[in-house]
Amino acid sequence: MPAAAEYAFPTGLSVAQGLQEAVTAVLEGEHAQVDLAELMARVRRVTEEVECYQAAAISDARARGMGWEEVGQAAFIAAVTARARWRTPEVARLFQRRRVQQASLGAESTPVVPAARQSVDEVASAKARGTRSLTGALTFLLRHSGLTIKEAAGRSELSASYVSRIMAGERVPTWPAVQALVQVLGGVPLDLYALWEAAQGVTRPSRPPLDEAVENLGAALRGAYLAAGCPPYEHVSALTDGVVDASIVEGALLGRVVPCWETTSALLSALQAPPGDVRGLWDDANYAFLVCLQMPLQDGPGPFSDLPSRPPFSPGPFRA
């Protein structure tokens, strides 16, 4: 079984996105001529996001090996002050407070394009992409199983015409139908959950805890891998022009590593999956890790310890 998952995130990038949204909210308030109290509330959020971004950027620098002396020089303060202000427990408390504040506002995980601002066409386009990916994954599983549509329908207690329309991309199935089909076809239902959510246009309302967030991200990556037909790891790596090594492809699919966003985006692009559709899941994992900064990783199996020793149906060579 894989050892405990390693987490290494460029945290500043994720927090910068929240800062950008906070600044945008101020600009929109000016255009809408909201009252001063509301405008000042939005400005306070910008100030809080700036504070969080500073902490995240410094955490990134510290993870890359920067000493407190260099941090102090960059921030124009004494090294001892920088150490006291941005040591790990302080950063963890800061992001814990940010998480509580966002939860109290009913904040959703941040996609590349906020759902509230998506046009009807954008939402329809995203759902169509999700449907194509879900259909691709189910079709691959059907081919790999050796069953006919009629046989798969019978074993999953669904009508043959319904399954036929699903496989043709003419119908988005319910989640119970997806579960039944995937189990009959020998797959893992959770691996297709993110694809099904995208096809349904579902927006997840809250950030899950770390283990769940990492599991959700890994399942989404494996779903995209299924939809692409499970190409060999080396082939996927070649499609990224070497940006993502074959061992990282394997590790990400097995849950042994959580890649940074640039690596995750390159991996998804190689699998012909829109990175933006998975960005919210990656942000969830990133954010959950920040909240847990002061908590050491527990000994024992990692979040994906119950996975098989390789992704199901993978033709890629496995390196022990």
Which CATH number do you get for residue 142? 1.10.260.40
> b vs e for 189-215, b when ≥16 Cβ sit within 10 Å of the residue's Cβ?
bbbbbbbbbbbbeeeeeebbebbebbb
Residues 29 and 131 in one domain: no
Structural domain harbouring 224: 118-320
pLDDT, mean of each 10-residue run, the chain (320 residues):
37 72 78 81 88 84 85 88 82 74 50 44 76 90 92 91 90 90 91 86 70 87 90 90 88 84 88 84 80 48 39 38
Tell me: do 87 and 141 sit in the same domain: no
**In this structure, is residue 109 part of a structural domain?**
no
| Residues contacting residue 180 through CB under 8 Å, at least 6 positions apart | 156, 157, 158
Which structure tokens are listed for 91? 């950063």
Is residue 318 included in any domain, yes or no?
yes
Scanning the structure block, which residue is given the tokens 């060999």?
A: 232
pLDDT tens track for 4-16: 333 333 367 667 7
**Shared-domain flag, residues 24 and 159:** no
SS3 225: helix
Query: Does 162 lie in the same domain as 97?
Result: no
Classify residue 2 by burial, with Cβ atoms within 10 Å: 0-12, 13-18, 19+. Answer: middle
In this structure, the answer to whether residues 316 and 178 fall within a common structural domain is: yes
225 is a domain residue: yes
**Burial of residue 310 (number of CB atoms within 10 Å: 0-12, 13-18, 19+):** middle
Specify the number of domains making up the chain. Answer: 2
pLDDT tens-digit series, residues 266-291: 899 889 888 888 888 888 887 777 76
| Domain-located, residue 81 | yes
